[in-house]
Amino acid sequence: TLRAPSRHSTFGIAFDIDGVLVRANKPLCGSSQALARLYQEPSSESTYVVLSSSLIDCGGYTEEKKSLELSKLLKINSCAFVQVFLSHTSFKELASCYRDKRTLAVGKGEPAQVLRHYGFMNVVAMDDYVCEFESIDPLEQYKPWSRAGSATLAGRESQDVQAVFIVSDPVDWGRDIQVVVSDVLNGGGNPLKVGGKAPPLYFAADDLIYQSAFPVVRYGMGAFRIALESVYTRLTGMPMVYTSFGKPKPATYKLVRKELEKLAGSVDPLQTIYMVGDNPATDIRGAKEAGKPWFSILVRTGCFRGINNDEEFPADGVVDNIVEAVDFILKREGLD
């Protein structure tokens, strides 16, 4: 159905990044040109404004830093019409609960800096946390990147961890699973204390797979969560209690919609929000479960390579790439 252009924003667009716009920090063919059609500064005679919220699964960096990185990579100007929404952006909602409580930040990039940016005031990164305990990582001597011999505190002087946040995909799975399960969760927040209640555990995302530069999909944070959960359950005989955010969780789509409508600056809600993604199990499933006004578009440049629609999580539309996705949206909105 084509709609006549309106002088107010009636639709928004949420793009996944990896597998849709870029792959391994390289723009996919046509992505810059496709975005340029949406991000051009509207003139006073323009009859519409296109809003875009970029959904990324596991950044490990602040939204501002990622926005600047994407702007340079895709050769677009970061402007008021663009909102970068990372999977860990949802952690902002928890900042007031853990403001002064010691939290453990796990993952690649700058996970502790991300939490501090959201308002967490007492954060320690996993790389720094393991330095507080002698010999906590028995394989440290075999890791060229480790900070061997840098332990700075006696274990019992370390504050108890009140919550664990998996901000992005961890690099050292073995060490991080050992420390989170055996030492923090089972130790009630401190490796050298016996028993105690396990602190809350949060995951920024739950994607099992994602598309990188390698032609075969790679394991994401969801795979790490499965490994962590498997070890925990085998050791304790109990199910692991945790909370995960990101796609396809309804809360993530609710927050993105809220941000888009705030950017639109209209009292009327957006009539349609397009989710353009490459992963049926996360991007498409999340949009379908979120319901109206979400409209899902599946591209074939990432995890999905099928000829027809995905059988388990069929999208509202299937196209080859981001160029075709933008064409589809503009035509559907009567703007092309």
Averaged pLDDT for residues 242-268: 85
> Which of 216, 213, 221 is closest to 247 using CA atoms?
221
How would you write 253-307 as a 3-class SS string? HHHHHHHHHHHHCCCCCCCEEEEEECCHHHHHHHHHHHCCCEEEEEECCCCCCCC
Class of domain 90-244: alpha beta
- Angle in degrees, CA 130, 136, 142, rounded to 5: 90
Burial status of residue 4 (CB atoms within 10 A of its CB: 0-12, 13-18, 19 or more): exposed
Q: For 63-67, 123-127, 284-288, which range has the lowest pLDDT when averaged over its residues?
A: 63-67
pLDDT at 42 over 90: no
Q: For 54-68, 122-136, 195-209, which range has the lowest pLDDT when averaged over its residues?
A: 54-68
pLDDT tens-digit series, residues 97-121: 999 999 999 999 999 999 999 999 9
Fold topology of 11-57+248-332: Rossmann fold (3.40.50)
Query: How far is 161 from 165, CA to CA, in rounded Å?
Result: 11
Examine domains 11-57+248-332 and 90-244 and report if their fold is the same: yes
Which has the higher per-residue pLDDT, 8 or 336?
336
List Cβ neighbours of 211 (8 Å cut-off, separation of 6 or more).
Answer: 18, 19, 23, 217, 218, 278, 301, 302, 303
Q: In Å, what is the CA distance from 326 to each residue of 15, 20, 70, 167, 207?
A: 11, 12, 18, 31, 25
Which phi and psi (to 5°) does residue 213 adopt? -70, -25
Token duo for residue 80: 């008021």
Most confident range, picked from 189-203, 214-228, 312-326: 312-326
pLDDT tens-digit series, residues 286-307: 999 999 999 999 999 999 999 9
Q: Compute CA 229 distance to the chain's CA centroid, rounded to the nearest angstrom.
A: 20
49 falls in which pLDDT band (50, 70, 90)? Answer: very low
DSSP 170-191: -S-HHHHHIIIIIIIITTTT-T
Average pLDDT value for the chain: 85
Token duo for residue 163: 């919550």
Would you tell me how many other CB atoms lie within 10 Å of the CB of residue 43? 6
How many residues does this entry show for the chain? 336
pLDDT at 275 over 70: yes
pLDDT at 150 over 70: no
Query: How far is 89 from 151, CA to CA, in rounded Å?
Result: 32
Would you tell me how many other CB atoms lie within 10 Å of the CB of residue 79? 10
Show me where the domains of the chain are located. 11-57+248-332, 90-244
CA dihedral 130, 221, 197, 250 (to 10 degrees): 140
Averaged pLDDT for residues 118-145: 92
5 falls in which pLDDT band (50, 70, 90)? Answer: very low
DSSP 188-246: TT-TTS---PPPPEEES---SEE--SSSS-EE-HHHHHHHHHHHHHHHHSSPPP-EE-S
Averaged pLDDT for residues 174-200: 92
> Which of 140, 221, 192 is closest to 184 using CA atoms?
192
Give the chain's radius of gyration (CA, Å): 21
Query: What is the value of pTM for the model shown?
Result: 0.83
